[in-house]
């Protein structure tokens, strides 16, 4: 893949350098100022235009003289040297020794230090990050900064924004940040001879035009009915991120009004029960199917796509116009021929690019099309605005004011040095119920690796096990383990204002305030615990004390945002993307491929052939006795049930559909429309 970099002439160039103002001086010493401050690329991203967010003020110009920064100080990623295994570096060894130094210090002592707690919070763009309940000191952050420098973190970040092929195993750029670039962005990566920003905005304009026409009734279904039911067919990143957005927006006041009369459902699992649940109560004549698959070959997605196409045909006939009016595709440009052969017209094809990874694709057509159809393109644009503000924050701010960088480096500290191999995400907002699942894929698929960029086997812990649940539900599910079992670092996420608060007569607090009391209390409970002496002072019987003692010293961080709006959803989305990238950059991993997903897929193809043999009554030949035993039991059990008349139903809708389903109530029409014309009567 040929990559070029186009830069504007807006900078004062001096040889191979450009001039930009020095950033404001650091509050906590030179370690976190110019030494590890903003990348020079931030001026290109900002373009000297609007502030980072609608509520923030433009940065105050520094009184210090301008400085010259060489472009060669931030080398392209494909020129990054073969780094030694990070665990062999002096910076890593220093952190290992430091972890021993703080081992005996309890968090209950740390959080009583006013000066420390004041230093360990960040307030930027309306977001407060409090990490005072992490097992870190000023020295920890100094040492983590040294490690980040040694691992060329800023160079890797800059290379990502510029479009270098940092996903080197697939020879691809990683440019999800470009998906939310301004149209006039001075930073303009060029991939395969195409200006990336122009490409992105061309597709966004196509999406806006199409979704506006659908919502206004100018684009209708095969029978002329307005398309009000949206079914997005995808799996993994093609589904988890967009569903997370949908759940956030459907209770946001602006989203509630915009979505009146529309439904959005996601079909991901090939389990036929998921298909039945998705199609239940939907009128095919008012349904638009979105097939989201980068390659248009993902096995689960394409089976579900063919299933939904059959559903449309069975109700409206197999006129090619049924598909061309009821099915759209979101796929890579390299899948154009496959999209067309499925029966989808070019006007209904919304492309994205090989440099967009599935788990990073929420801001591409994969998220833009379903969200814009239901909520309108303007609301989706606010999500992009929020994500862009975090992109700018990430590349611009020095470490001690950089929220995703701090979260990422502390994540490395917790995982690799304190040996916490799990992390839980705890949003105290029901609308964020799908955020933990999105983060689970984002982080575990990105950093679940066992070798470095150069192929060296890692000898240190990488890639947390992620899980989570909205508060307060999680408190009555797995918090017992968090408090008294394994120590698991926690991310608490809360909001100053609710999307829709309630005040019940006679209650002293609103429902949102009641929720937030838990948001504030749980981190303290995890940090402090409860000692045997405290229990004795409360009169707890001696025999119960071992069972009711909380050791505490369990780290957490708290994110507090103003309100769950489309803008702040975009900020959260980008924040966790960048946090994941930071950890991968420091561990020297390729966080942008996912070869671990491929092996199971290939083996499943072989199993499929074996099932065909078994269904035909032939002997199954398996690669090992364990698999053969399972396959034999599966096939033979089904065959025995069929002989008794209780077996699996034959494929198809109508009379074979589950009792009480739409398929049973409204049997399919014949496919042959020769005697019926080209439209339904």
- CA-to-CA distance for 45 and 262, rounded, in angstroms? 36
In the numeric block, the tokens 């433009």 are attached to 58
Beta strands 556-563; 127-130: pairing state: antiparallel
334: its two tokens: 């390299």
The enclosing H or E element of 190 equals strand 188-191
For the record, the structure tokens of 172 come out as: 């691809």
The verdict on whether 476 is a catalytic residue reads: yes
Around Cβ 547, how many Cβ atoms within 10 Å?
A: 9
Query: Three-state DSSP class for 428?
Result: coil
445 is catalytic: yes
Q: Given 450, 551, 601, 655, which residue is catalytic?
A: 601
SS3 18: strand
Residue written as tokens 């470009």? 178
Exposure string for 167-206, b = 16+ CB within 10 A, e = fewer: beebebbbbbbbbbbbeebbbbbbbeeeebbebbbebbeb
Q: What does residue 676 show for φ and ψ, rounded to 5 degrees?
A: -125, 5
- Rounded CA separation 374/246 (Å): 9
Residues belonging to the chain: 681
What's the token pair of residue 67?
A: 């400085």
Q: Is 248 helix (H, G, I), strand (E, B) or coil?
A: helix
Which of 199, 243, 392, 445 is an active site residue? Answer: 445
User: 3-class SS at 78?
Assistant: helix
How many H-runs (helices) and E-runs (strands) does the chain carry?
25, 17
Cα separations (Å) of 57 from 41, 54, 126, 127, 275?
Answer: 20, 8, 11, 14, 49
Catalytic residue among 93, 419, 450, 476: 476
Q: The tokens of 614 are what?
A: 């078994």
- Catalytic annotation on 619? no
Instruction: Outline where 164-293 has alpha helix (H).
Output: 196-215, 240-249, 253-258, 272-279
Cross-strand bridge partners of residue 451: 457
What is the rounded CA–CA span in Å between residue 207 and residue 210?
A: 5
How far apart, in whole angstroms, are the C-alpha atoms of residue 368 and residue 361?
A: 10
Residues catalogued as catalytic: 445, 476, 601
């Amino acid at each position: 893949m040929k990559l070029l970099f186009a830069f504007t002439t807006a900078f004062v160039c001096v040889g191979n350098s450009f001039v930009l103002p020095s950033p404001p001086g650091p509050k906590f010493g030179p370690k976190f100022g110019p030494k590890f401050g903003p990348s020079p690329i931030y001026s290109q991203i900002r373009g000297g235009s609007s502030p980072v967010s609608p509520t923030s003020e433009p940065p105050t110009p520094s009184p210090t003289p301008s400085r010259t920064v060489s472009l060669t100080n931030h080398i392209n990623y494909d020129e990054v040297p073969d780094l030694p295994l990070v665990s062999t570096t002096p910076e890593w060894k220093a952190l290992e020794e430091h972890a021993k130094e703080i081992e005996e210090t309890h968090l209950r002592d740390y959080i009583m230090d006013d000066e420390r707690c004041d230093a360990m919070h960040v307030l930027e763009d309306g977001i407060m990050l409090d990490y005072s309940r992490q097992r870190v000191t000023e020295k920890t952050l100094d040492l983590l900064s040294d490690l980040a420098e040694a691992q060329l973190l800023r160079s890797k970040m800059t290379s990502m924004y510029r479009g270098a092929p940092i996903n080197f195993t697939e020879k691809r750029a990683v440019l999800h940040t470009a998906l939310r670039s301004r149209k006039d962005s001075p930073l303009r990566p060029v991939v395969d001879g195409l200006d990336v920003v122009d490409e992105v905005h061309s597709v966004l304009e196509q999406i806006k035009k199409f979704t506006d026409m659908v919502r206004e009734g100018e684009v209708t279904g095969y029978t002329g009915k307005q398309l009000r039911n949206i079914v997005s067919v995808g799996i993994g990143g093609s589904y988890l991120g967009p569903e997370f957005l949908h759940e956030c927006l459907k209770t946001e006041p602006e989203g509630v009004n915009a979505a009146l009369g529309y439904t959005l459902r996601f079909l991901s699992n090939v389990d036929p029960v998921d298909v039945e649940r998705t199609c239940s109560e939907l009128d095919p004549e008012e349904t638009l199917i979105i097939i989201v698959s980068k390659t248009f070959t993902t096995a689960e997605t394409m089976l579900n796509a063919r299933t939904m196409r059959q559903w449309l045909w069975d109700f409206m006939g197999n006129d090619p116009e049924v598909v061309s009016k009821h099915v759209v595709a979101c796929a890579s440009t390299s899948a154009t021929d496959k999209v067309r052969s499925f029966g989808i017209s070019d006007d209904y094809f919304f492309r994205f690019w090989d440099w967009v990874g599935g788990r990073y694709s929420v801001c591409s057509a994969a998220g833009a099309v379903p969200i814009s159809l239901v909520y309108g393109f303007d609301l989706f644009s606010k999500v992009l605005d929020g994500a862009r503000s975090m992109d700018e924050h990430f590349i611009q701010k020095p470490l001690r004011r950089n929220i995703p960088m701090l979260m990422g480096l502390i994540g490395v500290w917790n995982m690799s040095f304190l040996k916490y191999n799990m992390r839980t995400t705890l949003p105290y907002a029901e609308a964020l119920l799908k955020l933990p699942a999105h983060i689970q894929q984002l982080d575990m698929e990105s950093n679940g690796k066992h070798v470095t960029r150069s192929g060296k086997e890692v000898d240190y812990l990488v890639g947390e096990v992620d899980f989570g649940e909205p508060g307060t539900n999680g408190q009555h599910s797995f918090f017992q383990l968090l408090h008294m079992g394994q120590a698991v670092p926690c991310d608490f996420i809360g909001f100053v204002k609710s999307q829709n608060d309630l005040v019940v007569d006679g209650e002293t607090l609103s429902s949102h305030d009641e929720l937030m009391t838990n948001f504030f209390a749980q981190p303290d409970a995890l940090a402090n615990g409860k000692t045997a002496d405290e229990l004795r002072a409360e009169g707890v019987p001696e025999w119960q004390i071992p069972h009711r003692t909380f050791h505490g010293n369990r780290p957490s961080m708290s994110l507090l945002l103003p309100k769950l709006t489309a803008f702040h959803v975009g900020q959260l989305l980008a924040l966790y993307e960048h946090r994941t990238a930071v950890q991968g950059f420091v561990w020297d991993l390729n966080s942008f491929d996912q070869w671990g997903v491929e092996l199971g897929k290939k083996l499943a193809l072989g199993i499929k052939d074996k099932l065909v043999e078994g269904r035909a009554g032939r002997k199954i030949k398996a690669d090992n006795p364990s698999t053969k035993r399972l396959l034999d039991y599966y096939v033979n059990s089904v065959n025995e049930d069929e002989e008794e008349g209780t077996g699996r139903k034959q494929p198809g809708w109508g009379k074979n559909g589950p009792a009480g389903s739409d398929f049973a109530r409204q049997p399919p029409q014949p496919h042959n429309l020769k005697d019926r014309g080209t439209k339904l009567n």
